[in-house]
Amino acid sequence: MEISVELVKDLRQRTGAGVVDCKKALQEAKGNVDAAIDYLRRKGLATVAKKAGRITSDGLVSSYIHAGGKMGVLVEVNCETDFVAKTEDFQSFVKNIAMHIAAANPQYIKREEIPNDVLEKERDIYRTQALEAGKPEKVIDKIVEGKIERFYSEVCLLEQTYIKDSDLTIKELLEAIIAKIGENISIRRFSRFQLGEGLSS
């Protein structure tokens, strides 16, 4: 049975299991995602959900400096133990997150952090654009919500497409490292500095 890339991606997002494991599970389950999740659980591969509630009190603060010192990022990524914080996999993940933040310039980690007034302002802009474009009233709400989803994917780190692999979001990358390492991991906070940013001319 031919398994689509979208189906594999969806299963990866929901379980944190690897691409090969997800594809095999979907083939075994004849394309049924719920049955594939059960298959992965039986094999001990769907581990992310179980780890999500565990406390992350260790980790690393890492930096990335780009463009000859014109831009820099500080990021804190937490894990459960000092042992994992010292592993090459974890340290590489943190460095890649810092590099991604430098390139993609997210404003928030997740959509829940966006203030309501910011969202309402975006909704008003999209609604006005749709009205001025002569869109029928009955479809305007759908258009606005579609644009809000795109806004999330632009400004929220976890929903951005990973700069090193356009098939992955940062959330999927995070889930994959959780599954590989076997500990809960969370991106706690970041700051991005651009030389001269905010200065008036």
- Percent of the chain residues past pLDDT 70, beyond the cut: 92
Q: Which pLDDT does position 133 carry in this prediction?
A: 86
Residues 70 and 137 in one domain: no
Q: Which of 14-28, 95-109, 148-162, 170-184 has the lowest mean pLDDT?
A: 14-28
Higher pLDDT, 179 or 105: 105
pLDDT tens digit sequence for 84-100 = 999 999 999 999 999 99
pTM higher than 0.75, yes or no?
no
Residues 71 and 164 in one domain: yes
Q: Which pLDDT does position 21 carry in this prediction?
A: 82
Q: Which pLDDT does position 188 carry in this prediction?
A: 94
Question: How does DSSP assign 103-156, residue by residue?
Answer: HH--SBSSGGGS-HHHHHHHHHHHHHHHHHTT--HHHHHHHHHHHHHHHHHHHB
Residues 37 and 119 in one domain: no
Residues 123 and 141 in one domain: yes
Indicate which CATH number applies to the domain containing 41. 1.10.8.10
pLDDT at 42 over 60: yes
How many beta carbons lie within 10 A of that of residue 15, not counting itself? 25
Residues 39 and 97 in one domain: no
Name the domain count of the chain: 3
- Range of the structural domain that residue 119 is part of: 115-154
* Strand partners of residue 74: 63, 191
Q: Which pLDDT does position 200 carry in this prediction?
A: 59
Residues 18 and 98 in one domain: no
pLDDT tier at 44 (50, 70, 90 boundaries)? Answer: low
The overall average pLDDT reported for the chain is 87
